[in-house]
Amino acid sequence: MLGIRFNYSITITQPHFKFEYIDFGQGYWQWQSKIIISYWEISHLRRILQTKEKNLISAGTVVLKNGFRVFFLGAALFSIISISLWFAIYSGAVDFSVDRINIFQWHAHEMIFGYSMAVIAGFLITAVGNWTKSNVLDGWKLAVLFLIWSTGRILLLCGDSYLLVAGITDISFSVLLLITLAIPIIAARKWVQLGLLAKVLLLGIANLFFYLGSFGRFENGINIGIYAGLFLVIGIIITISRRVFPFFIERGVGYPIQLFNSRLLDICSLLGFLAFFIVEVFYNELGWANYPAGFMAVVMTVRIIGWYTPGIWRVPLLWSLFVALMFIDAGFFLFALSPILGVSKFVSVHAFAVGGIGVVTLAMMVRVSLGHTGRKIGNPPAHLSWILLLIISAGLVRVVFPIFAVQYYSVWIGISQLLWVGAFGWFVVSYLPILTTPRISSADTGGE
């Protein structure tokens, strides 16, 4: 009779068994048991790795299915990296070497033609698909477009050592994006969307001016490119807000409401913004931009009052968009009154950039991510309000605090940068699973 000891302990870790200790017999039998268990462990590890590989491939396939998925993730991640680097540069912790452009111009360029352009690309590729009932771009073609955008960002994170290559890459991205959007719009005869196409074209031209200026080929091209880009993004926001914000509000407040809109107001907004854009970008030295800025402030105020209803404060994705419009309105007011108030125009610029662009892009990324993945816009995750409050706080600290306590200007900038990174970091952590998993069905998407 063989004396066989068969002692074991098992810890169950769902969904598989994990063997902690095994003592199976002696000699040959003990050796045999170790071989069996080792083979089981190797096989189990292989299955885990194969599952994770399949999950990664699946996530990559999903991300490249819609323009908003890959570009929203890319924009958010890039904004975290870029603003974190800007914080380190501004605080003196990092020496960022640039020769053809200064660090402020680098920062402005990357937030306009890097971050903002990616959000616009993701939004418009998705929106044009809806407008034209077509699949605008997906799969490897979308991956190529995203790779071109990413390459430009990586090159400029290295300073201006590869500025020429970055310029070629950036302009190529603008041209390809324009073609991508134009083909389905023209095919579907959606002529009303040509205005947005024109703004995308002008953004590409503004970026070209920036690069030509950086190589001394276009006098004052850097500043013209930066400010043209900034105000074109604001122009796109004003255009899109007129088209969709009233619809969002009327559908989202939960009670019947008819918001005020006027054809005359639309014309005043168009002409006022055009005058402001031309005078400030191309005739800045005349100092006349304060007048159309004041006119635009009045127009925006009338529009905001006409769209206001108390129900917006119950819905984060409504009050955040409303606050963003208020920031843009404040930007025009501060610009117009800067000579009287003695406030730097950089304060109004950041009302447009942080409070306007920052808040509206983050809110729209959340809205599109929820709506176009089949989730309920009217019932978003509870922490969404905190994410939006962080980015709004970044705008308030950057714009309002320096007006009343200018002696702490650098401190306010640093706090605003940290709040920005916190908001977008929270967005990435919260919405990465949404953007990398397939669309769910049977949800009320709130009219997306």
As a whole number, mean pLDDT of residues 79-84 equals 96
Residues 6+ apart with CB under 8 A from 12: 18
Split into its structural domains, the chain has a count of 4
User: Which residues 6+ apart lie within 8 Å of 346 measured at CB?
Assistant: none
258 lies in a domain? no
Tens-digit pLDDT profile for residues 135-193: 899 999 999 999 999 999 999 988 788 999 999 999 999 999 999 999 999 999 999 88
Flag whether pLDDT at 378 surpasses 80: no
| Same-domain status, 213 and 322 | no
Same domain, 100 and 222: yes
Confidence of residue 380 (pLDDT cuts 50, 70, 90): confident
Domain range enclosing 19: 6-50
CA dihedral in degrees (334, 339, 342, 344; nearest 10)? 60
In tens, the pLDDT along 315-370 reads 999 999 999 999 999 999 999 999 888 888 899 999 999 999 999 999 999 999 99
201 confidence band (pLDDT: 50, 70, 90): very high
Residues 237 and 190 in one domain: yes
φ, ψ at 11 (rounded to 5°): -105, 125
112 and 208 both lie in a single domain: yes
pLDDT tier for residue 33 given thresholds of 50, 70 and 90: low
The pLDDT, as a whole number, for residue 157 is: 87
Give this prediction's pTM: 0.85
Q: Are residues 104 and 189 in the same domain?
A: yes
Are 313 and 446 found together in one domain? yes
**Same domain membership, residue 144 and residue 122:** yes
pLDDT of the residue at 409: 93
Regarding whether 301 and 315 lie in a shared domain, the answer is no
pLDDT at 343: 87
